[in-house]
Amino acid sequence: MSPAERRIRFAQQWLEQVRDHLADAGAQGSPLSPEQLNILSGKVAGGLEIFVAETRAVSH
């Protein structure tokens, strides 16, 4: 697996973790604390940053 593929897989795992965490909280009616939301937001931002960087690298 290339370094780019590893970064993309890492980003995908982070986004999947966020999706699963939000789905679980929604299904159980569990509120998320501001700290939890901040962590999840950071994972989304980090994952998107990796996807954007790798997409730009491929298109150039």
Place of tokens 């700290």: 35
pLDDT digits (tens, 9 = 90+) for 15-56: 999 999 999 999 999 999 999 999 999 999 999 999 999 988
Domain parsing of the chain, residue ranges: 3-59
| pLDDT value of residue 57 | 81
Q: Would you state the structure tokens that stand for residue 48, as one six-digit string?
A: 């998107």
| pLDDT value of residue 56 | 86
Q: Which amino acid is at 7?
A: R
End-to-end alpha carbon distance in the chain: 21
| pLDDT value of residue 25 | 96
Q: How confident is the model at residue 58 (pLDDT cuts 50, 70, 90)?
A: confident
